[in-house]
Amino acid sequence: MPAEWEKHMGTWLSWPKDPNTFPGDILPAVEEAYVSMVMTLAKGEDVHILVNDQKTEARVRALLKEADRVTFHHIRTVDVWIRDYGPTYVKGRDLALIKWVFNAWGNKYEDLKHDNESGEAIAESTGLRVFRPGVVLEGGSIDSNGQGTLLTTEQCLLNPNRNPGLGKAELSKVMEENLGTPHTVWLKDGIEGDDTDGHVDDIARFVRPRTIVAAVEPGENDPNHKALEANLRLLRGAVDQDGRSLEVVEIPMPERLSSADTRLPASHLNFYIANRAVLVPTFGGDSDGEAVRILEEQFPDREVAAIDCRALVYGLGTLHCVSQQIPSFGQRAQRNAAASALT
């Protein structure tokens, strides 16, 4: 599994439309965030957008105006969380895909389980070889350094609502065999309000092969404080696939955001690394500027673009959750991607 900062051919997105996820006046604000994402991404790579039909495509084209490097695919989806139901790209002798089973984060949302079929359609559309381990796993639950080390959490992968009967050793073996990651760093719990049961892309991310940015909550009375402190201790004692220690850079959590007395899983760690930019979710608080500054230090060769995600997080995820990178890999992969773009 390549690291996210490795060169992309493009990025997959699914255009938002589910009124259960983004009701009322939330949806137009989410679409504004998507327009910002697409315009920023298209400066450095192709953007592949899933829409349900020609009518939706025409409307989205009007929103994007003269955006270059955008291709539309008529693949029906229920919701936007393509990181979790879409396939994971891997590189070996060629580019290939791992299609995990998506069960809507432990059978929480019956209607969203149909997006497992959407992920299958995406995989088939690429013309690449597809491997199906038959294991429930979401893309947001794992993060790779591209050299054999994977980040994940016990709260998610060991949850009995995913793969009952599979323990840490068995799942580590599954990931090694399918992602080429012989070494896994297991963190504990995710953040409050996260309905995915602790996805790692809200709490810790690789930014270089031996450097991880990690979320911290300075407020000692905040429920996230102890969980993130425990993960920070694990990261400071962790090593990579070669036994070398890791550098850990702290990023503060945003101020608390709530909807109907329920905490929303706002996190600056849910950023997306593109060819020329790093898209960073911001939430209108004091932590926004510091998060952008820290990531500018980590990515001096990329534009660090702040995207207002106060509407998007209403759906319980942000930028990394709604995107999936297409890694670059040789002439054959280029031909397959070109063929896919014509479908």
- Residue 154 makes CB contacts below 8 A (sequence gap 6+) with 168, 186, 187, 188, 189, 198
- Residue 27 makes CB contacts below 8 A (sequence gap 6+) with 16, 17, 19
Read off the tokens for 208.
Answer: 């270089």
Contact 271, 319 (CB under 8 A): yes
Read off the tokens for 59.
Answer: 């409307």
Is residue 321 part of the annotated active site? The answer reads yes
Read off the tokens for 34.
Answer: 């998507």
Nearest CA to 206 out of 49, 13, 1 is that of 1
Determine which one of 82, 213, 274, 321 is catalytic.
Answer: 321
CA 154: distance to chain centroid? Answer: 18
Contact 244, 210 (CB under 8 A): yes
Contact 314, 259 (CB under 8 A): yes
Contact 50, 280 (CB under 8 A): no
H/E segment holding residue 55:
helix 54-64
Active site residues: 321
